[in-house]
Amino acid sequence: MATSGPLFHAGWNRHWTGLQVVSDTNRTNRPQPRQKAFGELPWNAAAITRPLLAWYRRAGRDLPWRRSRDPYRIWISEVMLQQTQVERVRDYFQRFLARFPTVDDLAAAPEPDVLRAWEGLGYYRRARQLHAAAGQLVSRHGGIFPHTADELRQLPGIGRYTAAAIASIAFNQPEPIIEANSRRVLARLAGYDQPLARPRDEEPLWQLAAAVLPQRSAGRFNQALMDFGAIICTAAQPQCSACPLAGVCVAKQQQRVTEIPHLPAPRTIRRLRETAFILRQRGRLLVERRQPGEWWEGLWDFPRKLPTGIKIAGPRHQVGEVSYTVTHHQVSCRVTLSEVSARPRATRHQRWVR
């Protein structure tokens, strides 16, 4: 909730007590709790919202999902943008919408068609949850998106951030957002240097985001906050000299911009080697369906271990090697081709295909 006069004050003791919006006239001489994180911020909401919205009008990104307030388009884009960079999402978004232009089209499609349209974006669980949520939107809501974040969070794959993004951008509901860009902007503005290792560590920033959120332009403000973090207040080499908020930025005043936010160290990349076995018998190839708990669950792939009962005829040929990265793993995969003299009956997780 935005206010025009108050200063922001975070009361801290041994446990965080929450962000409080207080006005000068309400101050007393009573001892205040020890101020561990925000302290008293030298700005009010208008000092943030007005320059930020003005900057957004001039310099906001032109993204295809922003050209309407259609909740379906906003939802698809937000799910695609999870774990995927904006530039990569642009083309996929357009193709996906051409294939499934409405939530009814998405709900009616077979899951394999949805997964095929998702190929290349990775993290296929997102596509499955998208498909499941579309089914619920049609069966329970008549294809109409709920307007509130609480209702949206009841749908598969929609968490706190995604629900708030849809509610604020599509329906201008006063819902704050915290994601990588807005988290960085708000943490620097407030000089918030506490560790942000777990989702619950971000709660003070959610409260700060709510405190500065303008009621009448919540969606535009949230988009402005994200764009500002992507363009100006970047993780590396932030453009403080071009920042319209530099005068009220606590991290800038303390010369600690590169230290804030306090994020955990990147996870170590593990290097793995594996072999994909292309097994051919009379023109048919054996594929296996990935099982629960495996990468790419539910998708079909060449076996990574020789199945029981397979008899190889002749030499095994190496046909290439591919490398890919998935969930903090760098995988080198050797691809081999072998002729099979006898084709055992496929299990329910296997198929011989042409």
Lowest mean pLDDT among 30-34, 117-121, 323-327, 334-338: 30-34
pLDDT score of 248: 94
* CB-CB contact of 338 with 317 (8 Å): yes
pLDDT score of 21: 37
Q: What is the topology classification, in CATH, of domain 270-353?
A: Nucleoside Triphosphate Pyrophosphohydrolase (3.90.79)
Mean pLDDT of 264-282: 90
Residue type, 308: T
Element housing 8 (H / E): strand 7-12
pLDDT score of 13: 26
Dist. CA 257–CA 240, nearest whole Å:
9
87 is known as an active-site residue: no
203-240 pLDDT, tens digit each: 999 999 999 999 999 999 999 999 999 999 999 999 99
Element housing 311 (H / E): strand 311-326
* CB-CB contact of 168 with 214 (8 Å): no
* CB-CB contact of 277 with 338 (8 Å): yes
pLDDT score of 295: 79
**What pTM value is reported for the model?**
0.81
User: Helix 125-141 crosses helix 71-80 at what angle (to 10 degrees)?
Assistant: 160
Provide the residue ranges of all domains of the chain, joining segments of one domain with +.
Answer: 1-264, 270-353
Which among 40, 78, 119, 339 is annotated as catalytic? Answer: 78
Sign of the CA dihedral 230, 233, 239, 241? positive
pLDDT score of 306: 87
CATH top-level class for 1-264?
Answer: mainly alpha
152-202 pLDDT, tens digit each: 999 999 999 999 999 999 999 999 999 999 999 999 999 999 999 999 999
